[in-house]
Amino acid sequence: MVDDHPAIRRLLRVALGNTFRIIEAESGVDALAAIQREHPRLVLLDVMMPGELDGLQVLDAIRADPSHRDTVVAMLSARGQAQDNDSARCRGADAYFVKPFSPLQVVCWVKDKLKQSETRLGLKETP
């Protein structure tokens, strides 16, 4: 989960609960380091972040790395224009949630995508 606003990370962490192992980053540089180290199956990624890398640049790096080709990425953004959504999807985003978003909608989407990923990769939930 990557967002420079602690309140957004806290909201998503509470909404996702203890169901998932959550790794947090507050910058694009920190996000890429965590993604390389942890190889997450899914990333929730803020579009606009201060610093060297914004969310779209992180998305580009994820999609350029063959070891992350199966990583599911959802963008989170205050920018709600159709062109912003289209740009993110053209760069490989699997979803685009506009802030303020419904935490329940994000949680349902995450569960659905991870279930699809488990089926595709032949993984099973641990009891």
| Domain boundary assignment for the chain | 6-120
Beta bridge partners of 98: 77
Instruction: Give the list of residues 6+ apart from residue 111 with CB closer than 8 angstroms, or none.
Output: 19
The mean pLDDT value for 102-115 works out to 95
Check residue 118 and give its pLDDT.
77
Domain 6-120 in CATH 3.40.50.2300? The answer is yes
29-58 pLDDT tens trace = 999 999 999 999 999 999 999 899 999 999
- The contacts of residue 113 (CB under 8 Å, 6+ apart) are 42, 72, 74, 94, 95
Predicted pLDDT of residue 92: 98
